[in-house]
Amino acid sequence: MTLADTNVLLRAIQQDQPSLRAVARTAIKTLLRQGESICVTPQNLIELWNVSTRPVEVNGLGMSLDDTDRNLVRCESIFTVLPETPAIFPEWKRLVRASGVSGLKVHDARIVASMNVHGVKSILTFDVEDFKRYPGITVVHPTQAGLGFPRLADV
């Protein structure tokens, strides 16, 4: 199972970036065609809603609530949504302490905590560098998806 990072979900729906949109969609379709299960966390979907509904002037997509809701429902129908469990917070706390995580990067640590709790070992993301610090996680850039999961960052 591979987790799709929020940036992949956003690029897949972002119409003003056609080349990134194509890369994200191709990566998702390729993995699904190859029988790979793709999952997301509730946090990914919350972040999707946040960025989708935020105005363009403040680095959002400026989508309507109805369009955002349609995209959210579509994501829920395509991807497995990992459940929130009480084990995620202690794992997050362990990760941020062990890896010295601060600021905005705490959100990535929570995604990794959820991955660890649910036994997910790879993440599909445009932000390869953000996940290199986490041991045991294979980071796959969307341009590399379907190529035998090259280990771009398997630290």
Contact 141, 128 (CB under 8 A): yes
> CATH fold of 2-84+120-144, please?
Rossmann fold (3.40.50)
Return the structure tokens found at 49: 């809603």
Q: What is the pLDDT of residue 148?
A: 53
Query: Which residues 6+ apart lie within 8 Å of 129 measured at CB?
Result: none
Is residue 154 over pLDDT 60?
no
Q: Looking at residues 57-67, what average pLDDT do you find?
A: 95
Across 21-118, where does the E strand assignment appear? 38-40, 80-81
Q: Mind listing the pLDDT tens digit for each residue in 27-46?
A: 999 999 999 999 999 999 99
Q: In which band, very low, low, confident or very high, does the pLDDT at 150 lie, cut at 50, 70 and 90?
A: very low
φ and ψ of 124, to 5 deg: -95, 115
Rounded to whole angstroms, how far apart are CA atoms 23 and 134?
25
Rounded to whole angstroms, how far apart are CA atoms 104 and 116?
20
- Residue 122 belongs to what H/E stretch? strand 122-124
Q: Helix (H, G, I), strand (E, B), or coil: what is residue 39?
A: strand
How many CB atoms are located within 10 Å of the residue 99 CB?
15
Q: Mind listing the pLDDT tens digit for each residue in 96-131?
A: 999 999 898 999 999 999 999 999 999 999 999 999
Rounded to whole angstroms, how far apart are CA atoms 11 and 124?
12
Is residue 70 over pLDDT 60?
yes
Q: What is the pLDDT of residue 147?
A: 61
How many CB atoms are located within 10 Å of the residue 34 CB?
10
